[in-house]
Structure 1
Amino acid sequence: MDWWTRSRRIGRWCVSAVAAAVLAACGGGGGGSGGSGGGSSSGSTPKAYVLDSLVLPASAAKSAAALPAALRPTAATLVLPPWSEAKQALVAAPGTPLQIGVPRALAATQTADGLAQMLNWTQASDGGLVAAVSITSTGAYGLRLGLLVASLPDTARISLYRQDGSKTGYQTTGRAINAALARNRAVDGDTQAAGTWWSPDLGADEVTLEIELPAGVPASQLQIAIPTLAHAYVNLALPIEADLQAGAVTKTVGAAAACELDASCANQYATERNAVARMTYMGSDSRYYYCTGTLLNNTRLDYAPYFLSANHCVSTQASATSLRTDWFFRSASCNSTAPNPQTAARLQGAALLYATSVTDTSLMLLNETPPAGVTLAGWDARGTAAPGGAIYALHQPQGDYLKYSEGQIQRYDNCSLSGGGISCASGSAQSDFLSVVWNRGTTEGGSSGSALFIGGRVVGTLSGGSSSCTVAGGSDDYSRFDHAFGNKLKDWLAQ
């Protein structure tokens, strides 16, 4: 049994004790052939406390499946007017993720009966049934449909595409959706959020949902509603755009602050910058968010895609299921406004392995292999990150192209997190957090969950802080990787 099968099996059967608690009961495991699921106990001795980076070769990567061309049925249409409410401020409170979209109610498809009345089933060439509905949230940069599933045949085929002729699309099966929702409920409990499957964002204000049922499966076996969609008011595809008529560069709502440093200029960090991905995901409040995460290596060196971020970003399996990761999301060259042509998205989410607010840590196993050339970052759990030490960070502030920051650790901190953000005070060498000040660059909303590095190895994860381009003396707090490693991460990364 391979790492993907083993870890998915572990994720499916882990159940959290309370909603915001550590998933400590979900044993490790995640690599190697010939073993059994379950991993080791948190009291076991790790194989190593320090590990170098590893680059994913093309032979270990898999290309994302393309949506096959097909004759499309005539879709029922549902159009929401432009969203008129004030946008969420694009300055996230320290210790909170950056919101990029809002939920909008869909009255016509609020119930399964309502959606059923809209679907016009026709017979497919293979004798099955096919129907589609096109939903528009006028003015959105992208949208995601929240499917509340009561009954979905495993043999159903679900396709998502755009009516504008774009080749952008996504396809999955009823079996895959049912398995994802089962994992959500096993970890999160039987909540509406756990029972909701969020469609991927295809980058437009319209998306068409097509449902195919094989011959012999009646439409009555389908019981799904779409009570909500997520309307993105930030352009995920183009954080910086050129105003050709004015001959100037105009920053959009997602652009980072002026003092941020372009990571494409930082060749000294060329290896580890390829470990960082921009994250977009759905919260349990049906809102759409940005954060940053980092791919980690493990002592088996088996390329298992362990992905580190913050608990205040992803703390539920439902959010992990909705995760999209954007790789190589940086400028094409130093200080360029052009996108890197290598940029690639992965849409199939992750299994949540561990999440705790104590160290504000979230460890996931991606369901889809990242593109070839990414780095699985090394890490250092020896506790060598200490006051006075030089550090640097790689992150996606405001969801913008990858940036870097350089500074030093000023002290240890005791921190606590709540719905309103993070609160910290000076601590001791036993404290779970590191307070960092920057000499160059800063962090912003969207940087949350990004890694702190020393010598190419991860030593911390961003929780929040007061640093900015305009406020002198601001600092940020990073949870200590060595403490999270000792508490549980070693069960996946060093066994």
Structure 2
Amino acid sequence: MRKRGDGCRVAGLLGLVSLVSLMSGSAAAQVAETFGLADHRLPVVEKAESRPLSERLGLDLDAGRDLVGQVMLPPVDVERLLEEDAAQEPWDKVLRWGVGRDIAVEMTDGVWHDLPGLGRLWVVDVVAAEAMAMRIQFSDMNLPEGAQLYAYSVADSTKVAGPYAGTGLFDTGEFWGPTLLGDQVRIELFVPRAADLQVGMHHRYFRVGRIQHMYRDPVQEAFLKGEFGDERGAGSCHNDVSCYPGWADVAKASAGIGWVNSNSLWCSGTMLNTTANDQTPYWLTANHCLSTAGDAQSAEIYWLYQRNGCGGSIPSVASVPQSATCQLMGTGSASDYTLLMIRGELPTGLFWAGWYSGTVSNGQDTACIHHPSGDYKRISFGTKGSNTTNFVRINWYDGPTEPGSSGSGIFRTNTQQLYGQLCCGISACGSETWDDYGYFFRSYPNISSLLAAGSDDN
């Protein structure tokens, strides 16, 4: 897991250093800013529930064990992984929720089914015993014309990933499939008759050499902590954002993000408005969370992961709307920012947060909306302390942050405009002290042309 030790030590000088104003009075009058924008897109027509290709073709794969191949990995030592997570540096606000595991899935591991007049269907189950959820990495993919690849959870076949064709999502032959619930993912490959006759049944159309094994379930952990005092899950000191109706709009701009580095990691972030108010789906998070094009391509953004009202029910993270895959638009370690553009489909009813690119006075009342421990959305309140060139310190008085909160935005409470994103800090339940945030004032010049008018996001 990537750490923020050095960056936070630098930012840790914040309490001793004050920033001399870098802008003249005339320049300050021209500070770029936007305010929040409600979603004015037409409602998306809900898609019909997807079904596995085998089911649509009339194949009953549950009729016998020999109808589906299987490649299986043993369980992971969850307690050891949780101990590692608990031992991470207190200032590190990135959450690990899954681990990468090597696996070897060959074409000979699957079972071929003849489809008279159509072609053939290849089926294999990839099992990671006791996983909460899984992601599959497909590589060396080069499917012939008409071939289609699908993947779905055996436990919940209503969410079918695909069809993938040719060389995959990014035309590189390599990509991560979405997070699928349970410990058993079924892969189905359809090859049309013409292509099958050319290459034969043992041709390698793609390779699966790595998976992500999710060992944490934030909702379950929140329940365990509340009911049994379990040490996992977000602490009890946090404020439910749904109990603060004045922040309901900004909460719709804030979301959680899962992505793959070597393991599966989780941070928070915020969708930003442009000065053109054109609803380009720009999304701000931290550089120490995601910083490469590959990180962005593997990203999954989880929207509206919050209670349905103050004291309402907690949704499963798997049940909330998601957007898959992003494009890296800009990133920088100096002020710890990353700007993504979401390429996957956006649900309706979201919000584009406003931002302020000028300096912010000490003592400014501030709020942060985030996903502590990958749990449902919370809000924390504090005041701006001193700052260095690239970072601002927030002194909390009501609610801290936790791992999983990294990348979340801070907002001026009087205007609800973003002016930074979480880098690191020592705050936690029982220690509502301080955290350091990358200063949007310093990040903005690097992305100003993007935020002036959105890119083509079609």
TMscore range, shorter length: 0.7 to 0.9
- How far off is 1:150 after superposition? 5.0
Q: Is the 8 A contact 1:203 1:236 kept in 2?
A: no
Picking from 28, 32, 48, the partner of 1:49 is 32
Report the 3-state secondary structure (helix = DSSP H, G, I; strand = E; otherwise coil) of the residue aligned with 2:450.
helix
Cα distance in 1, alignment partners of residues 277 and 195 from structure 2: 45
Picking from 435, 439, 443, the partner of 1:480 is 439
Residue aligning to 1:364: 340
Q: Are residues 222 and 58 of structure 1, via their aligned partners in 2, closer, same or farther at CA, if it must alter by over 3 Å?
A: farther
- How far off is 1:483 after superposition? 1.4
Residue aligning to 1:328: 304
Any residues of structure 2 matched to 1:316-355 within 5 Å, and which?
Answer: 316-339=292-315, 344-355=320-331
**Aligned AA (1:98):** L
Q: Are residues 225 and 252 of structure 1, via their aligned partners in 2, closer, same or farther at CA, if it must alter by over 3 Å?
A: farther
Alignment partner of 1:205 is 2:195: no
- How far off is 1:120 after superposition? 2.7
**Aligned AA (1:409):** K
**Aligned AA (1:57):** H
Residue aligning to 1:434: 392
Report the 3-state secondary structure (helix = DSSP H, G, I; strand = E; otherwise coil) of the residue aligned with 1:208.
strand
**Aligned AA (2:430):** T
Cα distance in 1, alignment partners of residues 175 and 405 from structure 2: 26
Cα distance in 2, alignment partners of residues 276 and 394 from structure 1: 7
Residue aligning to 2:102: 105
- How far off is 1:127 after superposition? 1.7
Give the gaps of 5 or more residues in structure 2: 1-29, 62-66, 454-458
Residue aligning to 1:80: 73
Any residues of structure 2 matched to 1:180-259 within 5 Å, and which?
Answer: 180=170, 182=172, 196-218=174-196, 222-235=204-217, 238-241=220-223, 249-250=227-228, 255-259=233-237
**Aligned AA (1:462):** L
Cα distance in 2, alignment partners of residues 251 and 68 from structure 1: 40
What is the number of equivalent residue pairs in this alignment? 404
Q: Are residues 237 and 206 of structure 1, via their aligned partners in 2, closer, same or farther at CA, if it must alter by over 3 Å?
A: farther
Residue aligning to 2:5: none
Residue aligning to 1:405: 380
- How far off is 1:491 after superposition? 1.6
Q: Is the 8 A contact 1:240 1:251 kept in 2?
A: no
Residue aligning to 1:39: none
Q: Are residues 289 and 125 of structure 1, via their aligned partners in 2, closer, same or farther at CA, if it must alter by over 3 Å?
A: farther
Residue aligning to 1:292: 268
Report the 3-state secondary structure (helix = DSSP H, G, I; strand = E; otherwise coil) of the residue aligned with 2:227.
strand
Alignment partner of 1:267 is 2:257: no
Cα distance in 2, alignment partners of residues 282 and 99 from structure 1: 10
Picking from 153, 157, 160, the partner of 1:169 is 160
Q: Is the 8 A contact 2:70 2:110 kept in 1?
A: no
- How far off is 1:136 after superposition? 1.0
- How far off is 1:154 after superposition? 6.1
Q: Are residues 276 and 242 of structure 1, via their aligned partners in 2, closer, same or farther at CA, if it must alter by over 3 Å?
A: same
Cα distance in 1, alignment partners of residues 109 and 408 from structure 2: 43
Cα distance in 2, alignment partners of residues 376 and 433 from structure 1: 23
Q: Are residues 173 and 65 of structure 1, via their aligned partners in 2, closer, same or farther at CA, if it must alter by over 3 Å?
A: farther
Q: Is the 8 A contact 1:239 1:401 kept in 2?
A: no
Q: Is the 8 A contact 1:377 1:457 kept in 2?
A: yes
Cα distance in 1, alignment partners of residues 221 and 307 from structure 2: 10
Q: Deviations over 1:36-63 (max 9, x none)?
A: xxxxxxxxxxx97111111223516465
Cα distance in 2, alignment partners of residues 101 and 146 from structure 1: 14
> Identical aligned pairs, as a percentage?
25
Question: Bigger radius of gyration, 1 or 2?
Answer: 2
TM-score (norm 1): 0.75
- How far off is 1:447 after superposition? 0.1
Q: Are residues 343 and 162 of structure 1, via their aligned partners in 2, closer, same or farther at CA, if it must alter by over 3 Å?
A: closer
Alignment partner of 1:178 is 2:168: yes
Q: Are residues 156 and 386 of structure 1, via their aligned partners in 2, closer, same or farther at CA, if it must alter by over 3 Å?
A: farther
Q: Are residues 150 and 456 of structure 1, via their aligned partners in 2, closer, same or farther at CA, if it must alter by over 3 Å?
A: same
Q: Is the 8 A contact 1:310 1:463 kept in 2?
A: yes
Any residues of structure 2 matched to 1:462-481 within 5 Å, and which?
Answer: 462-471=422-431, 474-481=433-440
**Aligned AA (1:447):** S
**Aligned AA (1:197):** F
**Aligned AA (1:120):** V
- How far off is 1:87 after superposition? 1.1
Alignment partner of 1:461 is 2:421: yes
Cα distance in 2, alignment partners of residues 197 and 253 from structure 1: 35
The Cα RMSD (Å) is 2.7
- How far off is 1:164 after superposition? 3.3
Residue aligning to 1:41: none
